[in-house]
Chain A
Amino acid sequence: MLFNTVSFAVFFLIVFILYWFVFDRDLKKQNLFLLLASLFFYSCWNFKFTFLLLFSIGLDFYVGNKIYINTKNIAAKKRWLWLSIIINLSVLGVFKYYNFFIDNFIEIVTALGFKAHLWTLNLILPIGISFYTFHGLSYVIDVYKEKIKPVDSIIEYALFVSFFPLLVAGPIERATHLLPQIQKKRTFNYETAICGLRQILWGLFKKVVIADSCAEYVDLIFDNPSHYLGSTLVMGTILFSFQIYGDFSGYTDIALGVSRLLGIELLQNFSYPYFARDIAEFWRKWHISLSSWFRDYVYIPLGGSKSSKWIQVRNVFIVFMLIGFWHGANWTFIIYGFINFLYILPLVLFNENRRNIDVISVTGFKSGFKIFSSMIFTFGLVSFARIFFRSENVESAFTYISKMFSQSLFEFPEIFPKMIILILAVFMWIEWIGRQNRFAIEKLGFQWAKPFRIAFYYTLVLLILLFSGKELQFIYFQF
């Protein structure tokens, strides 16, 4: 059940009506209903994997309580924490990384002249496993660190992990942020709900109009890079950058909007990443819930930037390799992480990684040009690294890059979708105007006359309808 389908619209309409009109008087019943709706939503993909989700929920709920009971017994507390970490990562490892490790092990052993016969498993990756595993881990670690008390009700905890808008592709929530909202009675707020609808509309536009339109050309170019000029391959990387942004941030916008309609605020996951002035700023604006998760649960526990420069560099390296590997069991993702580490390394070494933390604003032509150049440069770096992200394997990524930097780089690209480029330009302009808000059209048109604002929304709806029909899977569902 994809967010951009009629099935989801019908599902959500039923949930919305029952949630606010039938179960609104009793918080426990409302939470139970939301949990059942979430499990139904998840089981639409694969009924069997719902049991894996329930196992993960049960484990972390139990461990959370055990850690709390053993607050004063440090050794026991630590044992429970490690039990949860090991089991969670083992489940993730088996489903997501087992074949990768086995294949590489066999290759190494064979290269050394030995023969190895190990089984690879024909496993389907349970959708959203990386996301809900990280939800569970954040809860257990927060209980361990005594940032939160474990919840008494398993329904509340299960809802925290499996809340359907965020279940399959995030944002990766924190117990400290989401659990209090689940435990508190929610009241309907008109402004919040309208804001939610606006965000859903913008998310659908990003997914259907931006991402899916770019996908058509990206698939064409990446499937046969050797058939195209270097300049066309550059076009392919640029379009892929817009595709993945439209796809993932579009999904997130829909998730946030849907939650808002249910009176729940989720974490912001994107903050105009393509206006980042350097790579450090980019990672503070892109998939924020993942990068901040690694910051809080890996980087800081490892010492963060408090120790020596060498330790900081090591920590940054670990985080980027993990970010790369989190995306999937493929060397392409590991290289993607490594390239990003190389990008950020000079900023870390020269303490420049927190230079750009304010919201970007331009005054004057000179500073405007400087900022614009740094944004374009950052976008170029990000897009280049994504060649690895998008390629099937390392070999095809290198083929793509070598063909891209050939003489044909300076010829006019064979594929130049004018309409898409025009739409992308308008899209980026709207994003620029709205860059101080949580999403681009949050306050856009508030000062316009009502008919113009309504006309703008109808234009978005019309574009979504005209570009719809491809029903492409969200890219981040595979992670």
Chain B
Amino acid sequence: MRNFIRYTFLFLFPIVLVLLAIEIFYQIAPNNYTVKNENCATNYQNAEVLILGNSHSFYGLNPVCFDKQTFNLSNISQSMYFDKLLFDKHIDNFKKVKFLVLSIEYTSLSQLKNTDEDRWRKYYYKHYMDLEVPIIQSFDLNNWFVSGTKSFSSNLKLISRYFSEKTIVDCNKYGFGTNYTQHKRAADMEKSAAITIKRHEDNLTDFTENITAIESIIEKCKNKGIQVIIVTMPVTKNYAEKVNKEKLNKIFESALLLQKTNSNVFYLNLFSDSRFSNDDFYDADHLHNLGAKKCSKMVNDFINQKSAKTQF
């Protein structure tokens, strides 16, 4: 038995060492989540506009383009479940926030908690953003080994990116996604749309879980005198043509109903807005940096308009 343990240990030692090194990298290398978490705290005293949502608002709404001090707390594949958890955790600390921009996209209302990318991103929220995440079980091994949430080859790619680019952070201090630039945009939007819609289509039209979360956010905003701007971000024509129209209309109707039933809610639908062309997009459903500038100004104008009305 002694020999068995010794030789097995010797054989496994280098492997464990490599895995440990990867885990240490995960623990110490700054990423979007850690950067957002840190900058979120620094914006507590100044931010007047807070943005929540997924990659569409992460890459599409640049706080620099807003007249009011803004912080973008949205993130890639951030579900409504995490929007709510982040909102509940931070909103009391944002002393000056007057507007909450909440993006509702084609996938936002139908994505159920703990599905899709939530299954592994949940650990990042817990580990890097200090969120209490009820869907994580206490004896789950990934509570302690964040690197275990991704495959070995993905981890190697990430580390190699870190060494070549010296960073894996893709957002600035205002929380805006910086790596979707115009010059890197997809060449074939039709192909991009076909691939994306295949990934996005879940054929679910029961929005109860997410509408309940939004209503809870709205209610809390109402109590704090915060206006909620629900935005549906623009997409390319190629993408818009491929979505399930029935489901899309149901999403719009849900947003309009929230506006109708809540005095502090305003809805801005940019989904098929004709002011955007395919040149504004990075891929089928994301704006690039210049498109984001255009979109952010529109949202800013909308906020200013609502701000003027409420002041009047």
Report whether B4 and A465 are in contact in the complex, using a CB–CB cutoff of 8 Å: no
A10 within 8 A of B: yes
Q: Are the C-beta atoms of A188 and B15 separated by less than 8 Å?
A: no
Instruction: Verify if A330 is at the interface (C-beta below 8 Å from B).
Output: no
Indicate with 1 or 0, residue by residue over B5-43, a CB within 8 angstroms of chain A CB atoms: 001100100110000000000000000000000000000
Contacts of A20 in B (CB 8 A): 1
Interface of A is mostly: helix
Q: Which secondary structure dominates chain B's binding surface?
A: helix
Residue of A188, A194, A465 with most partner-chain B CB within 10 A? A465
State how many residues of chain B have any CB contact under 8 Å with chain A.
Answer: 16
Closest to B154 in A: A469
Interface status of A454 (Cβ within 8 A of chain B): yes
* A123 interface hit (Cβ, 8 Å): no
Shortest Cβ distance from residue B280 to the other chain A in the assembled complex, whole angstroms: 32
Could you say which residues of chain B place their CB within 8 Å of the CB of A12? none
B:141-189 near A, CB below 8 Å = 141, 145, 148, 150-154
Answer yes or no: A419 CB below 8 A from chain B CBs: no
Q: How far is the CB of B307 from chain A (nearest CB, A)?
A: 47
In contact, A469 and B15 (Cβ under 8 angstroms): no
Shortest C-beta distance, B66 to chain A (Å), equals 39
Separation in Å of the A179 CB from the closest CB of chain B? 26
Cα–Cα distance between A461 and B148 once the two chains are bound (Å): 16
Contact of A469 among B8, B11, B14, B152 (CB under 8 A): B152
Q: Which residues of A contact B15 (CB under 8 A)?
A: 461, 465
When distances are taken between beta carbons in the complex, the residues of chain B under 8 Å from A465 are 15, 152-153
Name the A residues within 8 Å of B3 (CB-CB). 190
CB distance from A198 to the nearest CB of B (A): 11
- B11 to chain A: which residues have CB within 8 Å? 454, 457
Asked if B1 and A188 sit within 8 Å, CB to CB, the answer is: yes
* Residues B4 and A6 in contact, CB atoms below 8 Å apart: no
Is A7 positioned at the interface, with any CB of B under 8 Å from its CB? Answer: yes
B residues near A6, Cβ cutoff 8 Å: 141, 145, 148
User: Could you say which residues of chain B place their CB within 8 Å of the CB of A457?
Assistant: 11
**Which residues from chain A contact B151 at a C-beta distance below 8 Å?**
468-470
Asked if A279 is an interface residue, CB under 8 A from chain B, the answer is no
Complex interface: chain A residues within 8 A of B8 (CB): 197
Evaluate contact between A188 and B4: CB separation under 8 angstroms. Answer: yes
Residue of A whose beta carbon sits closest to that of B15 = A461
CA distance A21 to B7 in the complex (A): 18
B309: shortest Cβ distance to chain A, in Å? 51
The chain B residues found within 8 Å of chain A, CB to CB, are 1, 3-4, 7-8, 11, 14-15, 141, 145, 148, 150-154
What 12 new A-B contacts, CB under 8 Å, besides A188-B1, A466-B153?
Answer: A6-B141, A7-B141, A190-B1, A190-B4, A194-B4, A458-B14, A465-B153, A468-B153, A469-B150, A469-B152, A469-B153, A469-B154
A-B contact pairs, 25 of them (CB 8 A): A6-B141, A6-B145, A7-B141, A10-B141, A188-B1, A188-B4, A190-B1, A190-B3, A193-B4, A194-B4, A197-B8, A458-B14, A461-B15, A465-B15, A465-B152, A465-B153, A466-B152, A466-B153, A468-B151, A468-B152, A468-B153, A469-B151, A469-B153, A469-B154, A470-B151
